[in-house]
Amino acid sequence: MSRRLVETLQACEDWSHVTRTLFGPRPWDVKTRVLDAPSNVFEDPVTARLYDALYEDQRVAFLADIVEEVRPLILALAPGSTVAEIGAGPGRLLLALACNPQVRARRYEFVGWDPSPEMFAIAEEHRAASPAPESVKFLQGTTTDRPVQVVLSRTSLLLSRNVLSWIDDASMECLRWRQHLPSGSRLYVREVRRDIPFNQFKRRLLECVRLVVRGVELAYSPQAFAAAYLRAFTPPELRGILARAGFEIRDRPPRSALASDQERGELAEMAFLGHAA
């Protein structure tokens, strides 16, 4: 990452300055969801690998917190139940849950899917190296694919973390979840918020444009990072989408161990628990 770009980002005082710096002049306004911001960033193998690298080191405690948030939801399920994750990316969340000793003893089935070939390859690499490879399966695809729909039809808990922002028609996506999930199944959705305070967004961005992994300095794409927030929902928008799809929804204020959040994780992200009645 060029020092000049980092310095320019450090000096940005509002969203329009950031979007101009990263995407050139565009009439983008974060009052509404910016669907013109790129949505296919994880089809790029380098971005997929760098996203994975973010969680290698810098975001280990952050992921551990999310695992702790989800673990009781899994342990409330009958042994042998299916836990699914849409947009599982590098698979770190699903594998961390599956490898937890308490969870592992209850012989759940874990299935994650993702349309990005590189994300699928990374998830398979992590699965092969994990202590619980036999209980976890990754698929390449989306909920429009029959094999994924078959998994959904036996799922007791569906996890979705930072995926809906990337899907243009998130309402249709959530309707498909409700159509294929069995009645009584549960939902955990966690997403970044478009209404994140600008300075908190900037701290998160700067934390990622320079990251050190095993002593090597790397840079996560600032365009990919910013697109996630430009395409994101606000809590009322996402709550409405989930409720209209037919889920009973409860808010679940998320924790965050990111230094850049300064213990105000709930301003940067939102989480909901859902029930398919």
Residues at the contact surface with ligand SAM, assessed by CB under 6 A: 42, 86-89, 93, 114-116, 119, 142, 161-163, 166-167
CB of 21 to ligand SAM, least distance (A): 22
The one-letter amino acid code at 4 reads R
Considering the complex, state which of residue 30 and residue 89 has its C-beta at the smaller distance from ligand SAM.
89
The one-letter amino acid code at 76 reads A
With a CB cutoff of 8 Å and minimum separation 6, the contacts of 254 are: 66, 69, 190, 265, 266, 269, 270, 271
- Residue 273 and residue 218 in contact, taking contact as beta carbons nearer than 8 Å: no
Q: At 266, list the tokens.
A: 């709930």
Q: Tell me the β-bridge partners of 84.
A: 111, 158
Give me the helices (H) in 76-186, please: 92-99, 101-104, 117-129, 146-152, 170-180
CB of 3 to ligand SAM, least distance (A): 27
Q: At 29, list the tokens.
A: 């306004």
Considering the complex, state which of residue 16 and residue 162 has its C-beta at the smaller distance from ligand SAM.
162
CB of 179 to ligand SAM, least distance (A): 15
Residue number closest to ligand SAM, CB atom? 89
Considering the complex, state which of residue 17 and residue 89 has its C-beta at the smaller distance from ligand SAM.
89
CB of 133 to ligand SAM, least distance (A): 19
Considering the complex, state which of residue 114 and residue 195 has its C-beta at the smaller distance from ligand SAM.
114
CB of 11 to ligand SAM, least distance (A): 27
Considering the complex, state which of residue 22 and residue 139 has its C-beta at the smaller distance from ligand SAM.
139
Please provide the size of the chain in residues. Answer: 277
CB of 168 to ligand SAM, least distance (A): 9
With a CB cutoff of 8 Å and minimum separation 6, the contacts of 50 are: 218, 219, 220, 221
- Angle, helices 198-209 vs 222-230, to 10°: value is 150
CB of 44 to ligand SAM, least distance (A): 10
CB of 258 to ligand SAM, least distance (A): 14
Q: At 70, list the tokens.
A: 């989800």
Distance CA 107, CA 135 (A): 7
Radius of gyration of the CA atoms of the chain, in A: 18
Residue 159: which of 92, 101, 258, 102 has the closest Cα?
A: 92
Considering the complex, state which of residue 87 and residue 222 has its C-beta at the smaller distance from ligand SAM.
87
Considering the complex, state which of residue 15 and residue 42 has its C-beta at the smaller distance from ligand SAM.
42
Considering the complex, state which of residue 12 and residue 232 has its C-beta at the smaller distance from ligand SAM.
232
